[in-house]
């Protein structure tokens, strides 16, 4: 049986709340069955609106959304059979955990013994057996969150939407919940559409990530591709850390281009520049630049250490390089430490392949 | 372990508890001083008058003190036949003293409450008593009026002997102690209070129901509309609060009277004939309409304050889990508003049960409540002890409702804002 590549399909979807501003512009997005896809973007980028349209709480102003081949714009939310985890969990405070989980089963008129089995299964999936008779108010934030996940899965939906479900948790709990949700997804193979503004969350959990900005999908690709090969400077800056140089293309070939900065020239990989004279922003990940490189690299420049910040497993070094005082380097803390001291001049090198010349924006 | 905890000392060697008390004392005094003005105000203006009224409603000392010797002489009287000379002589002695103090009028009023017909025979007795000769008072008093020779009237006097009485309360329930000392109901055609109590409960109940039915959607709208609209709506809800109660009631009179605007409108759209305009005022309808409108904010505000705290995502969760909008409302939203419903209903019911001005103005004869009867006895008959007895019956009724509410819903669940 082949996997349905268009399990969820946004087809030319526009959305406007006031008739003046489009919060979602011409969205074209296919989600495969069993996929874990994350909508990532800053607040106001339209990602939550997309989720709400999929859930049925908002209607597209234009275009159509298909679920398993059926147009769903005219189907009310309660008939879509989509599980949803809300930002603040939205557990029913007057019902016990059991009753919360039983709610979707009861409205589907599932017999009690079968429902009990499903509830047991869902609770054990989030390791909350024995909590069935508790009230949500008696649970910690992480436990409530897990109940919310269990509730969204208990009626075996094919699609589960999660709207920043981990936003209210502290950092450690958030990380462990990320793995837990990922494992649940892997074990039951449900399709998940996940919304977050936290890029590390998106990178660890997803099969694919759709980066939203300004109502548009900027890039839709796997986490590693998104990080290693951002297609424009918004994505490059939004995902992970990033060193940039702004300049003008002075020479260009298929594989390489030369970018003229205010006082130097660097070699870069032409991604969105096509011709000589174009303005560009060159993006370089901090870990791609090395101090005192031994290999032959086509960019080697001298910089002055401005700041050294100790981070435990690595040290962040801020260097004034080629007129950019915000150039960041991450140096692993090993016994063979280099001579990193404030004010020292050091040699820094990187391959032109990793320096991506993107749109200037 | 426990002995160790008792031994805890501060660094200066003072026992910890002593030190703590000392440190807290100042705060306690401060707190008390802050509430003291209100406390004294409440004691003087609330606790004391209510206590006084409570006392007044059972106090029957007046007659006891006016006829001390009579009651002493009556102690041995069995009440079967006319009392003997001893009682008549004692009564005469007490009565002469009252006449000297010019208090026989009060006696006649008091005795008249117990049995009709005392007023005139006491007046007559006062006139005739000036010419009484010493001795054989029984004959002389009996000759003043034939009622003085009636054992019923002497029994009535004896019934006033105790210092405390429950007769005002019995009267409030249309009951009295009959000649044999049994508690019985008055004749059917004279039972006015029971009807009033039942009507008061009925009107308070229906006003609460109407208020709830109207306030629930308004409160929901208020809680869910965007700020700029909900503020406007809130002002509309609160506007009546800024208008005098009397003005609002009077405007209902303008609207509801037979030649009023509402009737004109009904005639205008052909709903009723011009010569057959329905009476919407001076009856229960008037009380219902005006009281519902006036008490509506007391229902809206507690409901609103509760609904405001219910996250809209709960309804969404209900729907996304497969509940129809009605199921999501009934299983998720409605149960969460119960504290507000409880608070609003309790508030409106208690206010309605003691409502006075509105039913007095638009209620007419069939729309008046027990409070109007209380006011009537306060102002017209000046039977304050009866008025306070009824007031207390009303108060205890409210307390019973409160207690029931606490039993069923739990007072902790109440939310007023």
Full set of structural domains in chain A with CATH: 8-233 (3.40.50.300), 241-358 (2.40.50.140)
Name the nearest CA neighbour of A233 among A318, A50, A355, A330: A355
Name the residue in chain B with its Cα closest to that of A77: B320
Asked if A76 and B319 come within 8 Å (Cβ–Cβ), the reply is yes
Asked if B334 has any chain A CB less than 8 Å from its own CB, the reply is no
Residue limits of CATH 1.10.3720.10 in chain B? 193-413
A-chain residues near B317 (CB < 8 A): 84, 86, 90-92
Predicted-complex ipTM score: 0.79
pLDDT band for B1, please (50, 70, 90 cuts): very low
How many angstroms separate the CA of residue B324 from the nearest CA in chain A?
6
8 A C-beta contact, residue A356 and residue A280: no
Write the pLDDT tens digit of every residue in B228-284. Answer: 888 898 888 888 888 888 888 888 888 888 888 888 888 888 888 888 888 888 888
How many angstroms separate the CA of residue A183 from the nearest CA in chain B?
22
Write the pLDDT tens digit of every residue in A268-278. Answer: 888 777 777 77
Asked if A86 and B336 come within 8 Å (Cβ–Cβ), the reply is no
Picking from A56, A76, A103 by the largest number of B CB atoms within 10 A of its own CB, the best residue to mutate is A103
Phi, psi of B398 (to 5 degrees): -65, -40
pLDDT band for B110, please (50, 70, 90 cuts): confident
Could you tell me the pTM of the whole model? 0.77
Q: Report whether pLDDT(A359) > 70.
A: yes
Name the residue in chain A with its Cα closest to that of B322: A78
Residues of A with CB under 8 A from a CB of B: 55-57, 76-84, 86-88, 90-94, 103-104, 107-108, 151-152, 155, 161
- In this structure, whether the domain defined by B193-413 belongs to CATH 1.10.3720.10 is answered with yes
8 A C-beta contact, residue A79 and residue B328: no
Query: According to the model, what pLDDT value does residue B333 have?
Result: 92
How many angstroms separate the CA of residue B318 from the nearest CA in chain A?
8
Q: B102-135: b or e for each residue (b if 16 or more CB lie within 10 Å)?
A: eebeebbbbbebbbeebeebbeebbeebeebeee
Picking from A49, A89, A94 by the largest number of B CB atoms within 10 A of its own CB, the best residue to mutate is A94
Kindly state the tokens that stand for B179.
């000649």
Name the residue in chain B with its Cα closest to that of A160: B320
Angle between helices B245-256 and B284-308 (to 10 degrees): 130
Q: Which of residues 269-328 of B touch A (CB under 8 A)?
A: 311, 313-314, 316-325, 327-328
How many angstroms separate the CA of residue A81 from the nearest CA in chain B?
6
Write the pLDDT tens digit of every residue in B322-360. Answer: 888 899 999 999 999 988 898 899 889 988 988 888 888
Alpha carbon A131 to chain centroid, angstroms: 32
Asked if B325 and A78 come within 8 Å (Cβ–Cβ), the reply is yes
Query: According to the model, what pLDDT value does residue B415 have?
Result: 60
Name the residue in chain A with its Cα closest to that of B335: A94
């Amino acid at each position: 049986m082949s996997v349905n590549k268009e399990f969820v399909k946004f087809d030319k979807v526009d959305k406007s709340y006031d008739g003046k501003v489009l919060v979602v512009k011409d969205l074209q997005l296919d989600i495969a069955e069993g996929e874990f896809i994350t909508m990532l973007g800053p607040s106001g980028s339209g990602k939550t609106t997309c989720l709400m349209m999929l859930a049925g709480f908002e209607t597209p102003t234009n275009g159509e959304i298909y679920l398993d081949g059926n147009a769903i714009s005219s189907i009310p939310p309660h008939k879509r059979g989509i599980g949803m985890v809300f930002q603040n969990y939205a557990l029913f405070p007057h019902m016990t955990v059991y009753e919360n989980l039983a709610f979707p089963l009861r409205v589907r008129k599932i017999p009690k013994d079968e429902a009990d089995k499903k509830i047991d299964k869902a609770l054990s999936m989030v390791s909350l057996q024995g909590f069935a008779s508790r009230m949500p108010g008696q649970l910690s934030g992480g436990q409530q969150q897990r109940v919310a996940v269990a509730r969204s899965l208990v009626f075996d939906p094919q699609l589960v939407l999660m709207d920043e479900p981990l936003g209210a948790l502290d950092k450690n709990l958030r990380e462990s919940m990320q793995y837990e949700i990922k494992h649940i997804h892997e074990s039951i193979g449900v399709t998940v559409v996940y919304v977050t503004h936290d890029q590390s969350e998106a990178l660890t959990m997803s099969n694919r990530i759709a980066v939203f900005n300004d109502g548009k999908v900027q890039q839709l690709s796997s986490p590693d591709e998104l990080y290693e090969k951002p297609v424009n400077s918004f994505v490059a800056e939004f995902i992970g850390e990033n060193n940039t140089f702004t300049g003008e293309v002075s020479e260009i070939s298929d594989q390489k281009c030369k970018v003229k900065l205010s006082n130097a020239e660097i070699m870069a990989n032409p991604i969105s520049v096509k011709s000589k004279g174009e303005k560009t922003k060159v993006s370089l990940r901090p870990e791609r630049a090395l101090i005192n490189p031994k290999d032959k690299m086509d960019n080697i420049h001298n910089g002055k250490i401005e700041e050294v910040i100790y981070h435990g497993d690595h040290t962040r070094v801020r260097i004034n390089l080629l007129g950019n005082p915000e150039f960041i380097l991450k140096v692993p803390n090993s016994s063979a430490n280099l001579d990193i001291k404030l004010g020292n001049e050091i040699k820094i090198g990187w391959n032109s392949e990793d320096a991506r010349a993107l749109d200037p924006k | 372990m426990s002995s160790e905890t008792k031994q805890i000392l501060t660094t200066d060697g003072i026992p910890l508890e002593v030190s703590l008390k000392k440190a807290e004392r100042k705060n306690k005094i401060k707190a008390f001083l802050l509430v003291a003005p209100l406390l004294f105000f409440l004691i003087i203006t609330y606790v004391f008058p209510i206590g006084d009224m409570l006392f007044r409603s059972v106090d029957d000392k007046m007659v006891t003190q006016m006829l001390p010797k009579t009651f002493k002489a009556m102690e041995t009287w069995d009440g079967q036949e006319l009392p003997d000379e001893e009682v008549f002589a004692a009564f005469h002695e007490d009565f002469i003293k009252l006449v000297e103090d010019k208090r026989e009028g009060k006696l006649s009023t008091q005795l008249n409450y117990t049995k009709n017909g005392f007023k005139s025979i006491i007046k007559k007795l006062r006139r005739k008593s000036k010419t009484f000769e010493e001795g054989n008072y029984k004959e002389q008093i009996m000759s003043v009026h034939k009622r003085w020779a009636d054992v019923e009237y002497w029994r009535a006097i004896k019934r006033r002997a105790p210092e405390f009485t429950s007769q005002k309360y019995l009267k409030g329930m249309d009951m009295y102690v009959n000649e044999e000392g049994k508690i019985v109901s008055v004749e059917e055609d004279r039972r006015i209070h029971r009807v009033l109590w039942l009507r008061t409960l009925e009107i308070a109940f229906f006003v609460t129901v109407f208020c709830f039915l109207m306030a629930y959607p308004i409160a929901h709208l208020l809680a869910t509309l965007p700020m700029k609209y909900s503020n406007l709506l809130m002002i509309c809800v609160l506007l009546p609060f800024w208008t005098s109660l009397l003005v609002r009631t009077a405007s209902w009179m303008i609207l509801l009277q037979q030649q009023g605007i509402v009737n004109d409108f009904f005639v205008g759209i052909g709903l009723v004939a011009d010569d057959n305009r329905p009476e919407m005022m001076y009856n229960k309808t008037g009380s219902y309409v005006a009281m519902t409108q006036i008490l509506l904010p007391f229902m809206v505000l507690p409901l609103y304050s509760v609904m405001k705290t219910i996250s809209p995502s709960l309804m969404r969760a209900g729907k996304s889990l497969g509940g129809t909008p009605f199921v999501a409302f009934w299983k998720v939203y409605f149960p969460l508003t119960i504290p507000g419903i409880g608070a609003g209903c309790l508030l409106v019911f208690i206010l309605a049960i003691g409502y006075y001005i509105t039913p007095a103005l638009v209620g007419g004869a069939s729309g008046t409540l027990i409070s109007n009867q209380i006011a009537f006895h306060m102002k017209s008959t000046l039977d304050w002890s009866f008025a306070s007895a009824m007031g207390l019956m009303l108060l205890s009724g409210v307390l019973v409702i409160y207690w029931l509410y606490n039993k069923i819903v739990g007072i902790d669940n109440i939310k007023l804002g």
